[in-house]
Amino acid sequence: MSEKEIMPLRSIFTSALLALALITATMPAAAQTSVASDDGSAPAVVHNTWTTGTNMPTPRESPAVGAIGHYIYAVGGITAPYGTILSVNEIYNTIKKTWTTGAPLPTPTCYAVGAVVNGILYVIGGSYGTGEYTDTVYAYDPVANTWSTMAPMPTARNSLSAVVDKGIIYVIGGYSGGRDTTVESYNPATNTWTEEAPMLVGKSTANVGLLGGTILAAGGLSNSGVTGDNEGYKVKKNEWTDLAADPTVRDASCAWAIGGVFHVAGGGLSSGETTTVNEAYSTKTNSWTTLAPMPQDTGYPGSAVVGGRLYCLGGYSSNTGVVGAVQIYQP
């Protein structure tokens, strides 16, 4: 075969390799299995996979959620018939996969946010009715099974997000007649609030997580609609910077940082539909990776991490309505 005949074959082969590489790069990462312990006492862990837990006794969207030990607390929210606002406090034992009930929230509340500091669950802001928003802060002691009212948040709002860093709760964005850039921090030790640097883009239902000393706020609902905006807040510098946008424009996802990676699963799209897309963001590369999709499309779930796994509790599906599923992601 002459050189002229060989060259086209080389070009075809090279093009095929490039096409295969492009397809591989855009495919979800494959599941991987880690090795079990030598004595066989621990089962193998299958990474990048989803499993399901026991359904919530009360299906709902937008519960305020927090994890204490191996228990996850799901408080308040909204359920069918749509507009029914809840005070229920349901507790999931992640080991036994069973639910129990704790003392109810003093006031039925939806679109609040939960955060845990020193074994106490704080439920912040939210709404008592359609279009309303509140500055109320409740603290739940699981040992005493009692609620206390704390210093109110300076800016009343619902559909807000929260991250805890070194015992301080950072409350991010939300809705108070418009989409907020507001960031306020709460110190449970002194029961005091501090105003922090505002976000670059005002948005509610942002997907947030903490990587090192950086708080991430990806996606959300802005005054112009659902956004893929991704911002990083340097806690020590008290400043926000632009980061690589979420490839999937969405809000109200199941989100948390685990093992140095920020995970965002599900959420609501600009079309009004909910999605199963699961992506991870790395601050080291300022880039996103597509992972295994959720079993159930879901927006407005509660998010918590126990044992290095992301728990997505309840939510809303554009296909089936209010969701009671417990979806569990193993990174």
The band of 186, judged by pLDDT with boundaries at 50, 70 and 90, is: very high
Quote the mean pLDDT of the chain.
Answer: 90
Phi (first) and psi of residue 115, to 5 degrees: -150, 145
Predicted local distance difference test score (pLDDT) of residue 1:
39
**Sheet harboring 192-195: ordered strands across?**
161-165, 168-172, 183-187, 192-195
Pseudo-torsion of CA 236, 153, 228, 264, nearest 10°? 80
Domain of residue 189 covers 46-330
34 inside domain = no
Average pLDDT over residues 261-279: 98
Total number of domains in the chain: 1
Average pLDDT over residues 48-62: 98
Predicted confidence (pLDDT) at residue 38 exceeds the cutoff of 70? no
Name the residue among 210, 213, 73, 87 with its Cα closest to residue 143.
Answer: 73
Predicted confidence (pLDDT) at residue 51 exceeds the cutoff of 50? yes
297 inside domain = yes
Predicted local distance difference test score (pLDDT) of residue 30:
62
26 inside domain = no
98 inside domain = yes
Predicted local distance difference test score (pLDDT) of residue 131:
72
What percentage of the chain has pLDDT greater than the value 70? 87
Joined together, the tokens standing for residue 223 give: 């005054």
What percentage of the chain has pLDDT greater than the value 90? 84
Predicted local distance difference test score (pLDDT) of residue 293:
98
Predicted confidence (pLDDT) at residue 25 exceeds the cutoff of 90? no
Q: Which residue has the tokens 């990587």?
A: 211
29 inside domain = no
312 inside domain = yes
Predicted local distance difference test score (pLDDT) of residue 232:
98
Query: Distance between CA atoms of 238 and 138, rounded to whole angstroms?
Result: 26
* Between 35 and 242, the higher pLDDT residue: 242
Q: Write down how long the chain is.
A: 331
183 inside domain = yes
Query: Distance between CA atoms of 75 and 184, rounded to whole angstroms?
Result: 22
317 inside domain = yes
The band of 82, judged by pLDDT with boundaries at 50, 70 and 90, is: confident
Those residues whose C-beta lies under 8 Å from the C-beta of residue 132, and which sit 6 or more positions away, are: 158
The band of 44, judged by pLDDT with boundaries at 50, 70 and 90, is: confident
What's the one-letter identity of residue 227?
Answer: T
Predicted confidence (pLDDT) at residue 316 exceeds the cutoff of 80? yes
Average pLDDT over residues 52-59: 98
Predicted confidence (pLDDT) at residue 13 exceeds the cutoff of 60? no
The band of 29, judged by pLDDT with boundaries at 50, 70 and 90, is: low
CATH number at residue 323: 2.120.10.80
Phi (first) and psi of residue 203, to 5 degrees: -160, 150
The predicted-structure confidence for 209-247, as pLDDT tens digits, reads as follows 999 999 999 999 999 999 999 999 999 999 999 999 999
Average pLDDT over residues 291-320: 98
* Between 33 and 60, the higher pLDDT residue: 60
The predicted-structure confidence for 109-166, as pLDDT tens digits, reads as follows 999 999 999 999 999 999 998 678 999 999 999 999 999 999 999 999 999 999 999 9
